[in-house]
Amino acid sequence: MSGKKTNKTKIRNALIVIGVIAVAVFIAYLLLFMPMNSMPSWMENLRTAFFGSAFYLDFENNFITDKRYMYIVKGLGVTFEVTFFAVLLGIVLGVIVALVRSSYDTLKEELKGGFGKAILFFFYKLCGVYLTVIRGTPVVVQLMIIYFVIFASSNNKILVAVLAFGINSGAYVAEIIRGGIMSVDKGQFEAGRSLGFGYVRTMAFIIIPQAFKTVLPALANEFIVLIKETSVSGYVGLQELTKGGDIIRSRTYSAFMPLIAVAVIYLVIVMFFSWLVSLLERRLKNSER
């Protein structure tokens, strides 16, 4: 009961904060931007002082003049596009690598030898090399290698970014999913075998569903990390969110306003998805009771 009360209190406090911010924004809009045929002298003086202030002039120069805010808008769209497809690629690679490594750990005693064990051992070692290389090198270096070396003749920067971040994310997703698989009690394997399931059907219908339920919050956090990692895409000339802010800075020679705007946008995105992850974790805990 105390946990439920705590959650209700947190939700109520969050709603109060959101309400206060919404009211403050609405009042500011009324005072500064709402068209009026006639207005009190104090409001006219307030607007004159605001629109003549250095803050507004800097804001106008960075975002309104020549519609420079569109660099931020377009960059945000590219950031979400790259992140979405990179997450899908990372999950696919992560699941494959996790299944290979966990299958070898589980079946190496049962497979006494022969061609099947040799093939599984080869892919097990190959996955180990993949994890070592990807987790041992910076993502920005991997991005530049893929763009300037492997796909040097390609002009599709979004595709290159998706491949780079997807391959990088896959290494971390693999270990997350492998940890989830290994956390499932070994008795579940035996239960599947007792039902007449083979190894593949046991993994598909019994082990994987339980493992995914365990690792979903960690996968969601990997998605949040990936959003921030895409900020290095500017190294290959991709105009994502950070690059959009940097383009504005190069036009206006003012670094504070565009970079702070980019930082605030990233902060809001991360806070929003962190809130969704907390809701997911709470839902999973409730379903276990």
Q: What is the pLDDT of residues 223-249, one digit of tens each?
A: 889 999 999 998 898 999 999 999 999
Q: Which residue has the tokens 């995914």?
A: 212
Question: 112 in helix, strand or coil?
Answer: coil
Whole-number pLDDT of residue 43? 82
pLDDT at residue 3, rounded to an integer: 52
Scanning the structure block, which residue is given the tokens 């690629």?
89
Structural contact between residues 238 and 161, judged by C-beta atoms closer than 8 angstroms: yes
Which percentage of the chain shows pLDDT scores above 90? 39
For every residue of 18-83, which 3-state class applies, written as one string? HHHHHHHHHHHHHHHCCCCCCCCHHHHHHHHHHHCCHHHHHHHHHHHHHHCHHHHHHHHHHHHHHH
| The two three-digit tokens of residue 7, written as one number | 């959650």
Q: What is the pLDDT of residue 8?
A: 62
Please tell me the distance from the alpha carbon of residue 64 to that of residue 55, in angstroms, as a whole number: 13
Residue 144 has pLDDT above 70, yes or no: yes
Residue type, 157: K
Backbone torsion region of residue 137, taken as left when φ is above 0, otherwise alpha when ψ lies between -120 and 50, otherwise beta: beta
Cβ density class 64-93: b for 16+ within 10 Å, e for less: eeeebbebbebbbebbeebbebbbebbbeb
Averaged pLDDT for residues 101-110: 77
Taking the C-alpha atoms of residue 76 and residue 99, their distance in angstroms, rounded to an integer, is 34
Instruction: Specify the pTM.
Output: 0.82
Between residues 107 and 253, the one the model is more confident about: 253
106 CB-near residues (< 8 Å, 6+ apart): 189, 199
Segments in 137-207 forming alpha helices (H): 139-145, 157-183, 186-194, 199-202
Instruction: Identify whether the C-beta of residue 187 lies closer than 8 Å to the C-beta of residue 114.
Output: no
Structure tokens at 137: 């090198």
Give the per-residue pLDDT at 289: 56
Q: Rounded CA gap, 208 and 183, in Å?
A: 11
Distance CA 98, CA 117 (A): 17
Question: Rounded to an integer, what distance in angstroms lies between the CA atom of residue 104 and that of residue 207?
Answer: 15
- Which residue from 266, 267, 275 is spatially nearest to 79, judged by alpha carbons? 266
CB atoms within 10 A of CB 178: 23
Place of tokens 């629109």: 51
The answer to whether 226 touches 90, Cβ cutoff 8 Å, is: yes
Q: Looking at 92-106, 152-166, 189-203, 250-264, which range is the least confident one?
A: 189-203
Half-sphere exposure of 179 (CA within 13 A, CB side): 11
Confidence of residue 109 (pLDDT cuts 50, 70, 90): low
